[in-house]
Each structure stands twice: as structure tokens, then as C-alpha cells.
Amino acid sequence: GTTLGASAAEKGRYFGTAVAASRLSDSAYTTILNREFNQVTPENEMKIDATEPQQNQFSYGNADRIVAHARANGMQVRGHTLAWHAQQPGWMQNMSGTALRNAMLNHITQVATHFRGQVAWWDVVNEAFADGGSGGRRDSNLQRTGNDWIEAAFRAADAADPNAQLCYNDYNTDNWTDAKTQGVYRMVQDFKQRGVPIDCVGFQSHFTGGSNYPPNYRTTLSSFAALGVDVHITELDIRNAPADAYRNVTNDCLAVPRCKGITVWGIRDSDSWRSGESPLLFNGSGQKKAAYDAVLAALNSG
């Protein structure tokens, strides 16, 4: 293939990017988007504060615009995200207990129903585990509603859209020996054993390069896959975009049959949440960087 998406497709994968609705009017941006990518994740437009800014008043305009663009251009959509401790609207930040649990479940039901049939994968729950050595859950208002909030979220999403693939998504879960990685692994193992409807795990993969890209990343991906879930690289960016690191990440995904695809967290460096680190595949002028060539070559090798 001559583009990321077409080359990934030849390997039975997708290659996607985060998309911002505000940039869909930028033709330099959409030219690259439409040429290179066959999957999109709305960067902010499906978050709780965007879709339910007032309780029970849902707002889908920007998310719908991204979904329409994706469908018109044959791109699959990853929904991001139904339940998260961050980017909560003010009304939700101030809730707790049973009222918050019910508001979360209602949010999941409403949003997953709205996008039923249009979202291939949902990040049902995002970033629920703590950093550091505990291997346990992150404290949050959602966690304080009871440890079963994550499985309740997955069951609600499954009921609303039985055909979507339901993922747990997190960061700093890349090094197989880290306590956080092991904590998520044990949760997924437990969910599979008890029949909680989880289909996939997303590895955000916001790397700083060097030692932040662990040599055992492939082991992490394959170990989760062995639990019977698909794995996805969901928000890839790497400080200074070293071509070697991008090549290795691509090869690690290709080496794991259940690694379904890679999503980079933006198109041009100027589109990135960490634009000061130039972490993406295209520079601010939309030109391909060395990392782009490395990824394309890896997708086309073997």
C-alpha cells in the first residue's frame, strides 16, 4: 500500500487518528485525513462534558459531524469515552453515590444508543487504574460509587449496543511488569471468567521515547490477547517521533494477531495535545516525517 490505512488493511488492521471536529473545515487537514487513515477517534467530542453538558440534555452535534465524515469516507469510528473521572460536566462532578451511579448508567445508555451501529468500538471506561505501585483503582467519584462500577458500565453499554466492541482503555499499562499493567490484566481476566461483556483493551501509548517505550510491550499486548480480548493501540504519540520507536510499535502490533490496529493521537504536530514535543507523523506543514516512512515501511514488510 501507499498510505497508512491501505497498508494496514492489507495486514487485516486499521490505521487511524484522533480527529477534532473544529479542524474538519481545514482542507490541509482533511486532505491528509482522507488520504491516509481508515479509522477515527473523536479527540474530545464524545466525552461526557461534550455529550451531556446539562444532565439529561444531550448534545451530539460535533460528534455527529465526525461520524458523518468518517462514514462518508469509509472510516471506522472508535467512541471515546463513556465513563471517565475526567472531562465530567459540572453537574456530574458534584454528584456521588447512587445518584451518580444512575447518572453514569443513563449517560452510557443514551450515548451508546444514539451511536448504535455507527461506532465499531467503545472505550467504555477510561483510565480507572491508579499510577504507581498499588495496582489498584484510581480514586474518583465513580470509584466511590462501588468497585463494581466498571462492570456495571460494560453491562449498560452491551445492553445499549450489543454489536459494538467494548474496550477498557488506559495509559502507563505498556510495561508488562508494572503494577498498573498487572492490575488491569487481573481485572480483564476476572471479567472474562465471570462473563462481564468486555471485548478489547486499549493501550493509549503516549510515549516519551527511550525507556518509556518498554522492550516488553509486545509481551504486554500478547498477554492480554491471550485472555481472549482484542488489543488496540489507541492514542499513539512519541516525544520527538523517533522513527525507530514508531517502527517498533508498528511491528509489535503486527506480531500479535489480536492487535487490530493503531490510532495516532492527531495528524500534524500542530494538532497534538503535546505539540511542543512534535510527537506525530506529519509536521505542522502536513509533510511526512521520518517516522511516517518507518511506519509505512513496517506495515508493508513481511
Residues with a known catalytic role? 127, 235
Does 182 sit near ligand G3I (CB under 6 A)? no
The least CB distance from residue 22 to ligand G3I, in Å, is 7
Q: Among 80, 166, 82, 78, which residue's Cα sits nearest to residue 119? A: 78
How many Å apart are CA 139 and CA 129, to the nearest integer? 8
- φ, ψ at 233 (rounded to 5°): -95, 110
How many residues bind ligand G3I (CB under 6 A)? The answer is 8
Does 87 sit near ligand G3I (CB under 6 A)? yes
The least CB distance from residue 126 to ligand G3I, in Å, is 6
Q: Among 2, 42, 1, 4, which residue's Cα sits nearest to residue 246? A: 4
Does 235 sit near ligand G3I (CB under 6 A)? yes
Does 270 sit near ligand G3I (CB under 6 A)? no
Does 65 sit near ligand G3I (CB under 6 A)? no
How many Å apart are CA 96 and CA 214, to the nearest integer? 37
**Closer residue to ligand G3I in complex, CB, 76/88:** 88
Does 273 sit near ligand G3I (CB under 6 A)? yes
How many Å apart are CA 232 and CA 110, to the nearest integer? 25
**Closer residue to ligand G3I in complex, CB, 43/161:** 43
How many Å apart are CA 183 and CA 48, to the nearest integer? 25
Does 58 sit near ligand G3I (CB under 6 A)? no
Given candidates 175, 204, 205, 250, which one binds ligand G3I under the rule CB under 6 A?
204
The least CB distance from residue 270 to ligand G3I, in Å, is 12
Q: What number of other Cβ atoms are within 10 A of residue 256's Cβ?
A: 20
**Closer residue to ligand G3I in complex, CB, 178/235:** 235
CA 196 to the chain's CA centroid? 20
- Residue with nearest beta carbon to ligand G3I: 273
Does 26 sit near ligand G3I (CB under 6 A)? no
Does 269 sit near ligand G3I (CB under 6 A)? no
Does 43 sit near ligand G3I (CB under 6 A)? yes
Does 151 sit near ligand G3I (CB under 6 A)? no
- φ, ψ at 73 (rounded to 5°): -115, 15
Beta-strand relationship, 121-126 and 76-84: parallel
Type and span of the H or E element at 4: helix 4-10
Q: Among 14, 72, 9, 18, which residue's Cα sits nearest to residue 282? A: 18
Q: Which residues contact ligand G3I (rule: CB under 6 A)?
A: 43-44, 86-87, 171, 204, 235, 273
